[in-house]
Structure 1
Amino acid sequence: MKRFEFSKLMLVLGLLFIYLPMLILVIYSFNASKLVTVWGGWSIKWYVGLLDNQQLMGSVMRSLEIALYTAVAAVALGTLAAFVLTRVTRFKGRTLFGGLVTAPLVMPEVITGLSLLLLFVALAPLIGWPMDRGILPTLVAPPTFCAP
């Protein structure tokens, strides 16, 4: 019984260690004072200021567009890959395909990002794509992180 109580205590302390700073941050985000360390009462003026910033809101909308596109592309690619791996039992390269599907699970994201950067830099002089670092590479790269 003692071991169970100790485990519960450690669980509660661990969760408090993780979530208490976030809760304090949320509470202090409603602080009316310009100083972080001085409590000046409750206010939402900082959030109103955020919502009034048109450039920031445009960036948020663009991020949501990219997230929606990424989710749709990742679901489509994942469904196709799952269909191939479960329904098509014998084909040349099945082991390679299975490895490619599971590679993002073990490959660090920074390696994937650097690989994409090198790919885009190498493709620009060869085929002229991408011409600039605009929206197209931004739409191509995120599904590679989310797809299977």
Structure 2
Amino acid sequence: MSEREGTREGVHGLWERLRGDEGESSIAVLLLVPVIMLAGFGLTVDWAGKVRASEEAVTLAQQAARAGVNAGLYGGSGKGDATLDRGQAHRGVVQFMGSTGAEYTVSTTNTSVIVNVTVDYEPKFIPAGTLHGTGRGEASAQSVSDQ
């Protein structure tokens, strides 16, 4: 028997079994379909929660960086050379992030503040452990030049 004939008989046998179906469901199908649907629903809900945590982390990082620049800005000569008090900028970020409950790191230069934030999400359906959303925000000190 050639390979082609074996394939033909396999397809023919499957077709015969399907044609003889009388609408009966096996108990395995009845048990598996709800489980698969719940798992899909759980994955969808928990993935959406992780995405929301990532969006929140980005928003917090951007706002904290801006708060740091605002707290540390002490001007300049007005010719585009605004500088930051790095200690004040760092304290501004710490004060802003203090009540958020998120983990964060801060780095400052003489003209900018960079904040990295991690927001945790506890899955509601799938026991996957804590999921983390991360975000980065950067703000720079700029002075308004004379026109």
- TM class by shorter chain equals 0.3 to 0.5
**Does 1 or 2 have the higher relative contact order (CA < 8 Å, sep 6+)?**
2
Which structure has the bigger radius of gyration? 2
TM-score normalised per structure 2: 0.33
TM-score normalised per structure 1: 0.33
- Please identify which structure carries the higher helix content: 1
- Please identify which structure carries the higher strand content: 2
